[in-house]
Structure 1
């Protein structure tokens, strides 16, 4: 069976015959397929990986959590901290040969800000954004906003990538179809076969920074001539291909293979920590019964026992955090236990008692279950069982993740095709800033779950203006307390989704998701 799977895989690989071409080509299998090319249209990780290959950002996050100039030479901030002046580096070009200009950057920021919560907050605090000359632009604020640089360097969904003004000026709610970036690789759009293969070659017009790479910052030197993202849905086939040397890199090694791969001297298994791990959460639909009732949400919160959820993942002990109440990730700079008392007290017995005291009388609860996902399948099965034990009438709807993602957009009542709950997994890097954290930032806006709490609105406004780390930390604690009290989402535990790669690769940049600059074969 394994030989048959590998034979099918080899049919997808265009360079299998040439050893020389093989040494210059990186073959990668991501955890999800690349289906959408516009990074503002989806939060699927494959599109984020794609975005960092072909686009670039003005500011980037380094391995120490600092924000550093990337496309920018630097910036100046006025004494009253209301005016930011940005200057582009010399010699930047788009992949079509045109120079990168300040006009391109302003258009790209405006498009991004209309699609993303942190960008929207930045624009709400902006009086004027204007082009000064070909290389300089200015953001003038109407009130203090402490996270201008962090917004432009946001690594979590949705990324503020730069693109030519003629493309960025289009409808922000319509996906771009022409891919022109200034990143280290160029996308071979004519060769793209969705569900099969996406190909990239080095961008000869890219100008890397001189500093060594550090996470998303520094010199993103494209050392591999070609990168192939191969769509392989079967988990065992992915692992077998890595062992056989037909794949070079897996975004997430199937958990059943971790122990075995750790013993293979030809394979390196990564060890993500802190914000490079994932947080599992239960997405709760506040818009329709029964979870429009806060008391019923509290009973649901009590039903989710995190250690049970994490035990189902089948991970080694050093790759999971059995209990984590911090919405900013555990074992990270922003970790806090504020407001977690209710989570710690979770149990079936407590959940049943809380549920009996509510108006819930056995109405169906539609549970969207991504059975085809290696991550979400075990999480969903355990959470659904926990809800049943607590007394909820669970209607489990098992399907693939793409279908779940589509159904989560519906606000219809459950009897008209709507939904009640859906487990999802969030990258830790998406959670560190409260202004971008989806458990907070999508308060009272159109985001699946449709939670809305006035306390969050007030606290995020105050957080955006907080001038000192002490003020920011105190407000972050208050925000987490409200999240758990309002039950915007319910944490299910923190875990690692370890990458794995062939041992003949060097220069792998450890980060929350795969990046491929600086990587070469020994």
Structure 2
């Protein structure tokens, strides 16, 4: 027998069998520990990852993944501790003492401290409308120990906890002190958070995909999740936000099971889901949203109140709503600057806004002394809810006599450009359109559009001492009746000077694969904790 011929063959068989066995073992282990990835199509791409520097909602959504908050609001607008374990309010209502929960860690392994919290409140308070008002009442911060700190007020202020629980942009996210010490006028470059997900910076491809990974050392609260409050229990290993600019492609991807969730599918494409048993479509934010038209007070012609009122006279809400939503099931005209159905809703002072009166617009524009200079209107082309607004506004304003320069760009470019104070001819702007969640407009303190504090105001920088006095009175009001009276006066004044124009109320449902995702909860922002994805 020729062993030299047989042995190599036998050895080869043994080696092949061993390789197959190892491969099978590896495959079984891989299957047992397969990464659970949730793929979502969001309403816009993420390009700015500093949720304090900008009010862009995508940046706030990113913030909720990566950071946490001291307090949070539930679906009944009740404030609950989040990072805070215990808190006390002194009998004179001047001192608030907060103690952090045990186990709070940054993504780099360091513990969250009182110094981090104080620095974060200060950074947020220098930028956000509600934060700025809170800071006016704060006398000083005191560090008691690494886990306990206090806020000392100059006088009692009933919105301390509500401010720290503000649910939408700008959200008072807590950042490491080294990050929060960077002025809010500058964008941060350190993305360390303490929230339920870690931002995978090395996998981030703007215009393509944004990746988050489960933070395994995150310790959730024991209470059930409700909006931003309660236990943020993460049941997936990885979340991918995909940028799919063609809406039909995104819808097809959901139908075929290539993605799990679409945050905001266009209304006209929703019928495609109706015959799909495996797709659920539901409005997760029952409060809705409001269109906003913002004018730049810094430069002509809108440094003149009559030119601003000419815009109000020219436009109307129904044109915006029909052009963007189309289906009356998902929209309604709403004269209330604080949203219809809210405790502060009124129609006072809004007659000029609720119908298009071109003759009045012509008259006001002539009285303003408008010289025919081009009006730079920034038009978003990649967010479906905003895509049709620019041409509608341009048409109305041209009828009123404005020389409109409609400049088309993606939304993230608008987000960056609207912060510029340059002249419109030098890269600045005159008008942009956006939309705000009702949670962002429910009262005069939270509403960025009503902040008329000049250089500290939101983009557009309205400047009016009377509005600021009324906002201050509202902050001090102790009864709902007094608040309603002040809010009505504020709405009338806002329409007189035109802090902004509100363009109607609408609702946007989300869609997801119900054969893959379960326990999806609602809120004024997309929530990626609590839900479960089938393996």
Same fold, judged at TM 0.5 (above): yes
Identify if the C-alpha distance between structure 1 residues 412 and 42 changes in structure 2 by more than 3 Å, giving closer, same or farther: closer
Equivalent residue number for residue 366 of structure 1: 376
Equivalent residue number for residue 207 of structure 2: 195
Equivalent residue number for residue 121 of structure 1: 133
Contact (CA 8 Å) 2:317, 2:354: kept in 1 or not? no
| Cα deviation digits, residues 125-159 of structure 1 (max 9, x gap) | 11111111222111001122221111111112111
| Cα deviation digits, residues 370-413 of structure 1 (max 9, x gap) | 23332222111111111122222222222222333333333344
Counterparts of 1:209 and 1:487, CA distance in 2: 44
Equivalent residue number for residue 253 of structure 1: 265
Identify if the C-alpha distance between structure 1 residues 76 and 299 changes in structure 2 by more than 3 Å, giving closer, same or farther: same
Counterparts of 1:171 and 1:360, CA distance in 2: 38
- Name the Cα RMSD after superposition: 2.2
1:416: how far off?
Answer: 4.2
Counterparts of 2:197 and 2:51, CA distance in 1: 16
1:173: how far off?
Answer: 3.3
1:474: how far off?
Answer: 2.2
**Pairing partner for 2:96 from 84, 88, 109:** 84
Counterparts of 1:146 and 1:476, CA distance in 2: 17
**Pairing partner for 2:418 from 401, 405, 408:** 408
Equivalent residue number for residue 490 of structure 2: 479
1:487: how far off?
Answer: 0.8
Q: Does 1:392 align with 2:402?
A: yes
1:479: how far off?
Answer: 1.6
**Pairing partner for 1:173 from 185, 198, 217:** 185
Count of residue correspondences: 503
Ranges in structure 1 where 5+ consecutive residues have no aligned partner: 1-17
Instruction: Name which one, 1 or 2, has greater alpha-carbon Rg.
Output: 2
Identify if the C-alpha distance between structure 1 residues 40 and 49 changes in structure 2 by more than 3 Å, giving closer, same or farther: same
Ranges in structure 2 where 5+ consecutive residues have no aligned partner: 1-29
Counterparts of 1:94 and 1:326, CA distance in 2: 42
Identify if the C-alpha distance between structure 1 residues 335 and 273 changes in structure 2 by more than 3 Å, giving closer, same or farther: farther
Equivalent residue number for residue 145 of structure 2: 133
Contact (CA 8 Å) 2:46, 2:59: kept in 1 or not? yes
Counterparts of 1:144 and 1:254, CA distance in 2: 46
Secondary structure, counterpart of 1:445 in structure 2? helix
Contact (CA 8 Å) 1:239, 1:254: kept in 2 or not? no
**Pairing partner for 1:318 from 297, 318, 329:** 329
Secondary structure, counterpart of 2:353 in structure 1? helix
Secondary structure, counterpart of 1:86 in structure 2? strand
Q: Does 1:462 align with 2:473?
A: yes
**Pairing partner for 1:186 from 195, 198, 210:** 198
| Cα deviation digits, residues 198-241 of structure 1 (max 9, x gap) | 22222121111111111111111111121111222222221111
Counterparts of 1:436 and 1:70, CA distance in 2: 20
Q: Does 1:221 align with 2:233?
A: yes
Contact (CA 8 Å) 1:232, 1:238: kept in 2 or not? yes
**Pairing partner for 2:320 from 292, 305, 309:** 309
Contact (CA 8 Å) 2:67, 2:193: kept in 1 or not? yes
Name the TM-score, length of structure 2 as normaliser: 0.89
Identify if the C-alpha distance between structure 1 residues 72 and 406 changes in structure 2 by more than 3 Å, giving closer, same or farther: closer
| Cα deviation digits, residues 43-82 of structure 1 (max 9, x gap) | 2222211111121100001000111111111321112211
Secondary structure, counterpart of 2:449 in structure 1? helix
Counterparts of 1:193 and 1:415, CA distance in 2: 32
